[in-house]
Chains A and B, each alone.
Chain A
Amino acid sequence: MADKPKRITDLGSPDYNKFLPPVIAKNYGKWKYHEYINKGVMKHVSETGDELYTVRIATPRLVSTDYIREMCDFSEKYSGGYLRWTTRHNVEFFPAKEQVDGLVADLKKAGHLVGGIGYGISNVVHTQGWIHCHTPATDASGVVKAVMDELHEYFTTKTLPARVRIALACCLNMCGAVHCSDIAILGIHRLPPKVNEATLANQCEIPTTIASCPTGAISPNPATKSVKIKSERCMYCGNCYTMCPSLPIADGTGDGISIYVGGKVSNARGPARMSKLVIPFLPNNPPRWPETVKAVKHLVEVYAQNAKKHERMGEWIERIGWERFFKLTGIPFTYQHIDDFTFARDTFRMTPTFKWE
């Protein structure tokens, strides 16, 4: 390899200091307080007296370089060439005070949604789905688009009792870690993988494949030099498919969406908590997933009507009780709602104390 030029490696992350707007570099660590001007604009004030304005818009997460260049142009015109992405896939600009209105107007004129700050629905954290992944049980971008077309006013203008964080993961690997969201949309498979005996011996290492199953559902099938799957043990995690491409798990009828609610990561008022299953299955119905859109909208509306100010969805449900939650939302309670996996007993109620209404 001596004839090749030396490759540069192990650079890591570029120094963020190069990318900080001057007012942020100057006031780093000195911010004193902030105010929300409206749903799309906030103001931070420093101990030095300096002010920073932030304007936020929603992106579709999957964007073209044309889109990024457009954002760069906005930043050059209004924000000194500086811009920031939030991890909820929003873009932020830092205009001077007198440029805020001009920027907001320009963004709106170009069709962008300005908002996402304060009590409402910010952008939806989501994963790849049919765009790029090999194990999804539903699409990601399409479901998010359909849901937010219906709920976008909670991003731009309408407020809710507190933040409602929506996240979507297209399989239970949960790249997006939706398990701590106010509303989690989760793709699920309901059928075990099919064994492709013709290709399995060629494509897969049988011991590795067997070891990949967390529930021990896979055993060798010496007759066909392949494997067998005990379907009553399979919980459709797709682990085996990642290890062995001859065990495809996707199925047009078996796959669909489930909805979990009431999680949060903030410790404010009470600890972070996981989201809980409320709708075990909704069909995949592209391109607009009407069942899922309706369900999410309904959950947001029932919460909006009933929760107290500052109460996150999970806090509201804990106050009123799960039995009342199911009554208020009209969602049927089924076998699937009762846990039967590793930590099941922790979720059973051990008190004879209920809210009957």
Chain B
Amino acid sequence: MSKDVKTPMLDDLEKGAWPSFVKEIKKAAKRSNTAHDLLGILERSYRDKVTHWKHGGIVGVLGYGGGVIGRYCDLPEEFPGVAHFHTVRINPPSGFFYTSKAMKELCDIWDKYGSGLTNLHGSTGDMVWLGTQTDKLEPIFAEITAKGWDLGGSGSCLRTPSSCVGMARCEFSNIDTMSICHTMTQKFQDELHRPAFPYKFKIKVSGCANDCTAAVARADMSIIGTWKDNIRIDQAEVKNLAKSMNIQEEVVDMCPTKCMSFDGSTLKINDKDCNRCMHCINRMPKALRPGKEKGATIMLGGKAPIVTGALMSWVLVPFMKLEAPYDNLEALIRKLWEWWDDHGKNRERIGELVDRMGMRSMLEATGLPPVPQMVKAPRTNPYVFWAPGEVK
């Protein structure tokens, strides 16, 4: 352990109403050298305004290519407790429900082998255990697997899939998001632990167009629940709600497709024109519910800016029925991976490959038909390519 260092800047962040991460590090520092030296090196970063971490590429458990992020500090003599500061990603249960018993067991393991500090959760959705050393990795792995837990993904592989709370607690959900997420995680264990892709691949599942997992922005494959038939209306509840809200202004006037009307007692929806945006249902959950013919829109290609700029996912399949065991979804994902594997360059996300090769190459490889839902509008430019054989 480094000798006691003063941390005036961090101490300032113990004040204030919002929960303080500095208090958390200090709690852990009472027991752990690693947490103690984290305080010291973090204060140094606050003073220098730069990070003191170095990237490390070869740490992990035997046989897996992901789940551990190697990290070393650039001041190991001063802060030996964080000379090695690797993180371990643990695959959480879909929906992030826990029992206190399971959580406490995990805490016991982490207190034994690591800093006692975690992120709940990292942005991918894994439980992130911050700060341990290479020689602790196998013991951690043995103990978590004995309790039924496994590592999550990192590297050029399938990342830990995640979902919104869905049918467990949300009446809007058109698909069983937690079951889909869990089933895909289990089917693709090899792809998750043994990186064989050109780059990372993320799957996120949201039960409706509110998209609580931000799937459209954060996942290469975004699965978003929707419905095909009519919104279910409870007119008695509409009348009730009319007493406490302005249905005309807050709902009808804000409908993007102008397909609703309200005469003061009855709400009418022209479902042919509705594009199922969720606004009215969000506003009046007691009175309105999605229809009964439920499924999901499958979208492809979302990612953060690296390397060519941020992309949002676009439509691949406008409507897919999703019922356990979701073999149709699995088959589609495997076909996409095969095409990506054949053509993708190192660090090329699947969305970027579509940019480079064109939608047609991908559609032909997966057998998906071109449909109008894939585009905002057909092309305007006349530089249209024809395949040999199409010109007869």
B167 touches A29 (CB 8 A): yes
B283 interface residue per 8 A CB criterion = yes
A280 interface residue per 8 A CB criterion = no
User: What is the CA–CA distance of A329 and B28 in the complex, to the nearest angstrom?
Assistant: 42
Instruction: Indicate with 1 or 0, residue by residue over B59-83, a CB within 8 angstroms of chain A CB atoms.
Output: 0001110000001000000000000
A164 interface residue per 8 A CB criterion = no
**Known contacts A62-B21, A267-B278, A341-B309; A82/B97 CB under 8 A:** yes
A230 interface residue per 8 A CB criterion = no
**A contact residues around B37 at 8 Å (CB):** none
- Among candidates B48, B100, B116, B124, residue contacting A73 with C-beta atoms closer than 8 Å: B100
Question: Of residues 2 to 60 in B, which have CB atoms within 8 Å of A's CB atoms?
Answer: 9-10, 12-13, 15-25, 27-28, 35, 38, 42, 45-55
A11 touches B142 (CB 8 A): no
Name the segment of A127-135, A219-227, A296-304, A330-338 touching the other chain. Answer: A127-135
**B contact residues around A33 at 8 Å (CB):** 171, 285-286
A72 touches B94 (CB 8 A): no
Instruction: Indicate with 1 or 0, residue by residue over A81-118, a CB within 8 angstroms of chain B CB atoms.
Output: 11111110100000000000000000000001100000
A321 interface residue per 8 A CB criterion = no
Q: How far is the CB of A141 from chain B (nearest CB, A)?
A: 4
- Among candidates A13, A72, A214, A253, residue contacting B308 with C-beta atoms closer than 8 Å: A214
Instruction: Indicate with 1 or 0, residue by residue over A56-84, a CB within 8 angstroms of chain B CB atoms.
Output: 00111111111111011101100001111
A239 touches B306 (CB 8 A): yes
A65 touches B120 (CB 8 A): no
Residue of A nearest to B161 (CB): A13
A65 touches B110 (CB 8 A): yes
**A contact residues around B53 at 8 Å (CB):** 130, 132-134
**A contact residues around B117 at 8 Å (CB):** 62-65
B51 touches A250 (CB 8 A): yes
Q: How far is the CB of B226 from chain A (nearest CB, A)?
A: 9
**B contact residues around A10 at 8 Å (CB):** 150, 189-190, 193
**B contact residues around A129 at 8 Å (CB):** 51
User: What is the CA–CA distance of A64 and B118 in the complex, to the nearest angstrom?
Assistant: 6
Residue of B nearest to A256 (CB): B49
User: What is the CA–CA distance of A52 and B28 in the complex, to the nearest angstrom?
Assistant: 34
Instruction: Indicate with 1 or 0, residue by residue over A155-185, a CB within 8 angstroms of chain B CB atoms.
Output: 0000000000000010011111101100000
B379 interface residue per 8 A CB criterion = no
**Known contacts A68-B103, A142-B13, A145-B21; A343/B130 CB under 8 A:** no
Tell me the dominant secondary structure on chain A's binding face: loop
Q: How far is the CB of A265 from chain B (nearest CB, A)?
A: 4
B250 interface residue per 8 A CB criterion = yes
User: What is the CA–CA distance of A141 and B123 in the complex, to the nearest angstrom?
Assistant: 14
Question: Of residues 93 to 150 in B, which have CB atoms within 8 Å of A's CB atoms?
Answer: 93-104, 107, 110-111, 116-125, 130-131, 141-142, 145-146, 148-150
**A contact residues around B24 at 8 Å (CB):** 60, 62-64, 66-67
B120 touches A68 (CB 8 A): yes
**B contact residues around A179 at 8 Å (CB):** 217, 304-305, 310
Residue of A nearest to B48 (CB): A252
**B contact residues around A211 at 8 Å (CB):** 346
- Among candidates B55, B63, B122, B214, residue contacting A265 with C-beta atoms closer than 8 Å: B214
Instruction: Indicate with 1 or 0, residue by residue over A268-303, a CB within 8 angstroms of chain B CB atoms.
Output: 111010100000000010111000000000000000
**Known contacts A13-B185, A85-B98, A87-B121; A152/B45 CB under 8 A:** no
Question: Of residues 178 to 218 in A, which have CB atoms within 8 Å of B's CB atoms?
Answer: 179-180, 211-212, 214
Name the segment of B205-213, B265-273, B330-338, B363-371 touching the other chain. Answer: B205-213
B279 interface residue per 8 A CB criterion = yes
Instruction: Indicate with 1 or 0, residue by residue over B236-279, a CB within 8 angstroms of chain A CB atoms.
Output: 00000000000000100011100000000000000000000111
A60 touches B167 (CB 8 A): no
**Known contacts A65-B107, A179-B305; A28/B186 CB under 8 A:** no
A32 touches B171 (CB 8 A): yes
Q: How far is the CB of B82 from chain A (nearest CB, A)?
A: 10
A325 interface residue per 8 A CB criterion = no
Instruction: Indicate with 1 or 0, residue by residue over A23-39, a CB within 8 angstroms of chain B CB atoms.
Output: 01000110111110000
A62 touches B119 (CB 8 A): yes
Q: How far is the CB of B84 from chain A (nearest CB, A)?
A: 12
B85 interface residue per 8 A CB criterion = yes
B63 touches A7 (CB 8 A): yes
B168 interface residue per 8 A CB criterion = yes
B156 interface residue per 8 A CB criterion = no
14 contacts between A and B (CB under 8 A): A7-B145, A8-B142, A12-B91, A18-B99, A21-B97, A62-B21, A64-B35, A66-B27, A69-B103, A83-B97, A84-B96, A131-B21, A139-B46, A287-B10
15 additional contacts, CB 8 Å, given A31-B170, A179-B217, A287-B12? Answer: A9-B193, A11-B148, A24-B97, A64-B24, A64-B25, A65-B28, A72-B103, A113-B18, A132-B130, A134-B54, A172-B306, A173-B304, A267-B211, A272-B312, A288-B12
List A residues at the B interface (Cβ < 8 Å): 7-16, 18-21, 24, 28-29, 31-35, 44, 52, 54, 58-69, 71-73, 75-76, 81-87, 89, 112-113, 125, 127-136, 139, 141-142, 144-146, 148-149, 152, 169, 172-177, 179-180, 211-212, 214, 237, 239, 241-242, 245, 250-253, 255, 263, 265-270, 272, 274, 284, 286-288, 309-310, 341-343
| Closest A-B pairs by Cβ, 8 of them | A149-B16, A72-B100, A267-B209, A174-B304, A130-B45, A252-B49, A148-B18, A8-B145
